[in-house]
Amino acid sequence: MMDITQRLNLYTEQRRYTEVGNSEVFVEIFGDEVKYCYEMRRWLYWDGNRWKIDVSGKTEQKARTVVIGIYQDAARTEDVELRQRILRHAERSNTAAGFRNILTCARSDLAISENDLDINGYLFNVRNGTIDLRTFELRPHNKEDLLSKIANVEYVPGAECPAWKEHIQTIFDNSQNLIDTFQEIAGYSLAGIGNPEAGFFVLHGKGRNGKSVTLRVLEHIFGDYGTNIAPQTLAWMKGDRVRTDLLHMKGARLITCTEPKKSIRLDDGLIKSLTGQDRLTARHLYGEEIDFNISGTLFLATNYRPKIDDQSVAMWHRVWLIPFDHFFPPEQQDTGIYEKLIAEGPGIFNWLLEGWKRYCDTGKLRKCGKIASETREYQNSEDVFYEFLKKYVIDPNDPTCRIKASEFYKQYSVWCLDEGIQKISQTAFGREMGIRFRKERCDNGIYYLGVGEPQQLKIAGQEPIGVGS
């Protein structure tokens, strides 16, 4: 391979000694090694493994090389007048402004959109190559793949992880169904395919149960493909916000949020967007806005189950409550467990690949019975109306099981007062009940069908005059 001096010599004859000419030479020589992203307002360079944001001035060093080439041109020029002209141009270029101008003029020729990076969700970059998750083949790093991320692990076929497997067995109390489900979820997170299962995975336990160290190990393995977001990112807040924080999730495969200090109230709409392949808009700090899709999987590790107001089927279809019920008493805590586990990185990566392969074979994440029952109980506990309705007869098949809407709202208001709960308006109450029960309009008002007093009150002599929904 030619050295920089030889490469510069190739462009001497056609070179123009202007700022634009300097940038043209820069593009010719370094165009396959650097890119400029307008949204980020940053240069990226190819480091042999991935496209990396330049925070250490490597691109400017390349611009300096172009200026060195101008001096070399002057030294080779026999014509005295021309040599002096070239030297004067070299002196003008050999300044901070001159280096900046080379890069400024070259930007448009070397532009790349942030959305062009890491777009193939089946490619997973590791230290010793790139794995195609469709074929499980490892191939050399390739700058044409436009990968800007790399995992913190090597792919070593056959590598094992006995300590990790023992850890997983312990924290899930040897429940093989739960272990298998968690392995498939974790493996599924390797692919940046937009979370087609629309899962929001809540890792819940009261503390000293291993969930935090488990996520920390996975974050270590995923490297650049993992990101940890602040709990405030997922929390409901009044008013609109400039969402610079959402950019942390762009291109991430493993998105984690750990240990909010108290039970946060989730931004239900945002959770739906993050798990539903909706297109998001965010802005770089002092930079451009960018639209993008979340490509990864969202995990929340918490001692407190977050508050979910949205009781729709669409919301609860997303929630998977993964129980961490094991408790490590102080005498059983291993302070060096994290270091022991990350030492098995290649083996844990193979464990993840095994989970991903099982997901590919079935085409669906399998929700084990323990997760299903825990999630159901969680949903019921979050549904204020479920608590209110528990004392009522619920029988949608009994035509006499009905209650007058206005009376029902009065009883709900009394219940809220007794329970210390802020009641909602009668209009909102009617809308909420309409989700759960059919309505029937009679001469003396509206009735909800399928719900009645504990001591059933039969309403006689009322002929329906219309049916709502």
Q: Give 198-226 pLDDT, tens digit per residue.
A: 999 999 998 889 999 999 999 999 999 99
pLDDT above 70 covers what percent of the chain?
92
- pLDDT at residue 433 is higher than 90: no
CATH of 385-468, one of 1.10.10.10, 3.30.505.50, 3.40.50.620, 3.30.56.10: 1.10.10.10
- pLDDT at residue 10 is higher than 80: no
Q: Could you tell me the CA-to-CA distances from 357 to 113, 153, 351, 361 in Å, in that order?
A: 32, 19, 10, 6
- pLDDT at residue 339 is higher than 60: yes
- pLDDT at residue 442 is higher than 80: yes
**Distance separating the N- and C-terminal Cα atoms of the chain:** 75
Q: Which residue has the tokens 């890069």?
A: 103
| Residue 115, CB-side half-sphere exposure with 13 Å CA sphere | 11
DSSP character string of 213-263: HHHHHHHHHHGGGEEE--HHHHB--SS----SGGGGGTT-SEEEEE--SS-
- Condensed to tens digits (0 to 9), the pLDDT of residues 389-416 reads 887 877 877 878 889 999 999 999 999 8
Query: Which of 139, 41, 18 lies closest to 89 in space, CA to CA?
Result: 18
DSSP character at residue 265? B
Local confidence band at 463 (pLDDT 50, 70, 90 cut-offs): very low
Pairing label, strands 445-449, 402-404: antiparallel
pLDDT above 90 covers what percent of the chain?
64
- pLDDT at residue 7 is higher than 70: no
Write the single-letter amino acid at 313.
V
Local confidence band at 450 (pLDDT 50, 70, 90 cut-offs): confident
* Cα of 144 vs its chain's centroid, Å: 24
- Condensed to tens digits (0 to 9), the pLDDT of residues 147-205 reads 999 999 999 999 999 999 999 999 999 999 999 999 999 999 999 999 999 999 999 99
* Residue 122: per-residue pLDDT: 98
Enter the tokens of residue 112.
Answer: 């790349």
- pLDDT at residue 18 is higher than 80: yes
- pLDDT at residue 329 is higher than 50: yes
- Condensed to tens digits (0 to 9), the pLDDT of residues 233-250 reads 998 877 666 678 898 899
Mean pLDDT value across residues 75-103: 93
* Residue 237: per-residue pLDDT: 78
Q: Among 100-104, 342-346, 430-434, which is the least confidently predicted range?
A: 430-434
Query: Which of 104, 25, 99, 36 lies closest to 69 in space, CA to CA?
Result: 25
Q: Looking at domain 162-381, does it have CATH number 3.90.1410.10?
A: no
The residues spanned by each domain of the chain are 4-112, 162-381, 385-468
Specify which of 15-24, 280-289, 329-338 reaches the highest per-range mean pLDDT.
329-338
- pLDDT at residue 30 is higher than 50: yes
- pLDDT at residue 313 is higher than 50: yes
